[in-house]
Structure 1
């Protein structure tokens, strides 16, 4: 993967506090002007919908709980609406943008709209689905982003796994995806995204966002989701992969009992039942009733 890093200038020292007095946010007219200048037409392929409302980006930053000591990872900064709001609050912003035209323009936009904060922006031109922690100039402490809706869940899970330094995440996603991520066991939309997100920490809804704050206006509602990392489960990739394999198997046929659903994963219904009982789980229960801790215990049971 080719990664292009654009560093806007020297980073703030740990004693510096962001000053937002000269940060001017982007409005609808400026968003359109920038798009026309760059010849940008938002594409469904890249999941591009640009936020043009200052109150919305301020609310997202406030909901995230980030502050002057944070280094924030932003995915899909687009034309820079949320980036500017973040720079008015945090120490550094690392913006990961897949579109090279947008990535190249972002530092100039920040220099125009927030000149005293331009040195605190780093832009990494890369696909967030494959970016690695080693590709980033600093270890991020938070993830705050308007995620491309078509890849929101895999991007969120990838970055939480790849960057253990991220202690909190606040992401905007499609409303029904937000509901699914934050759903508790037993909820009708509880499923694979719900359990996997909980592997990393506590997950909750953090608000709704109207369609009218975007250009172009999307056909779906949007919602905010917060993940607060707890480190309750192993950060070892192999251990996590074992747990995620059980989760995938359990929900592949979600109406089946765990004994039946895990037959392929375990090798047979009998072995599936043995492992379930060893983990203290009723073989007749369905996956939608189990919490992440149940799946962690089940993945730890050795084969016969």
Structure 2
């Protein structure tokens, strides 16, 4: 089977790397593990030996017969679908009644990395953990903390929904075909979120922060003023929180964004 560029496929070839990645999942055997993009089944073959049920979601129809032949295990379920249109929410709600734990694992296609991560976040209330492989630069952005150059709205979102961690770097030579850049493994523990707020508020905070990062070269005062359509009110909000007007979005912490959100209330939902 050949890797297809349109699906961002790069297959893992190192067995020790596979074992190292899977070791980051919880060892509880009574677990549903969802693998997004199983490819040639390198991780999948190990997962079915460790966990009660493995659901693999694959978009490449050419891999269907190959995967079914390679992994005949009864606890293996293959769904041919695009993860972005797959009804993950309803699926997880039903499965949560059956399994002690549910986790997601994936070597993420580079071209839809953010979309898959956000979809995972939106369903995190039904999940225990997610282990993702991304391009190293993307992993550094996601796991960045306030004040770092890579800190962005995705960094804030990851912190809102989970305890995030940069696990380790993966050299590009461990894939076939060899990609242009190194990758990294990152983990999200949804049982230990840094902030205890409801899903609806998390979604609204994410939207607010995304808009405030749209013009990251501008000050927080200008961006917040544009967002709520009232620079004078924005100044009063920042004053009440003791936040310097001249700071830029990348030096505002997640906890400060939460405080801003609580005072802002409704904001203009326009880009």
TM-score interval for Structure 1 and Structure 2 normalised by the shorter chain: 0.7 to 0.9
2:163 to 202, 205, 222: 202
Which residue in the other structure is 1:124 paired with?
79
* 1:141 counterpart SS class: strand
CA contact (8 A) 1:66 1:142 kept: no
State the Cα distance separating 1:267 from its structure 2 match.
0.8
Segments of structure 1 that go 5 or more residues without pairing to the other structure are: 1-34, 36-40, 112-117
Residue 255 and residue 66 in structure 1: after superposition, are their counterparts in 2 closer, same or farther (change >3 A)? farther
User: For the residues of structure 1 that align with 2:48 and 2:198, how far apart are their CA atoms?
Assistant: 30
User: For the residues of structure 1 that align with 2:61 and 2:27, how far apart are their CA atoms?
Assistant: 27
CA contact (8 A) 2:144 2:151 kept: yes
Segments of structure 2 that go 5 or more residues without pairing to the other structure are: none
Which residue in the other structure is 1:175 paired with?
136
Matched, 1:287 2:249: yes
* 1:262 counterpart SS class: helix
CA contact (8 A) 1:160 1:166 kept: no
Report 1:95-134 matches (<5 A).
95-111=56-72, 118-131=73-86, 132-134=88-90
Residue 55 and residue 151 in structure 1: after superposition, are their counterparts in 2 closer, same or farther (change >3 A)? same
State the Cα distance separating 1:145 from its structure 2 match.
1.2
Q: Tell me the number of residue pairs that the alignment of Structure 1 and Structure 2 aligns.
A: 258
* 1:246 counterpart SS class: helix
RMSD: 2.1
Residue 291 and residue 70 in structure 1: after superposition, are their counterparts in 2 closer, same or farther (change >3 A)? farther
Which residue in the other structure is 1:268 paired with?
230
Which string of whole-angstrom CA distances, capped at 9 and with x for unpartnered residues, describes residues 80-114 of structure 1? 01111212222221111112222443232112xxx
User: For the residues of structure 2 that align with 1:66 and 1:106, how far apart are their CA atoms?
Assistant: 24
Matched, 1:70 2:27: no
User: For the residues of structure 2 that align with 1:208 and 1:216, how far apart are their CA atoms?
Assistant: 18
State the Cα distance separating 1:187 from its structure 2 match.
0.5
CA contact (8 A) 2:161 2:202 kept: no
CA contact (8 A) 2:170 2:184 kept: yes
State the Cα distance separating 1:194 from its structure 2 match.
0.8
State the Cα distance separating 1:300 from its structure 2 match.
2.1
State the Cα distance separating 1:162 from its structure 2 match.
2.2
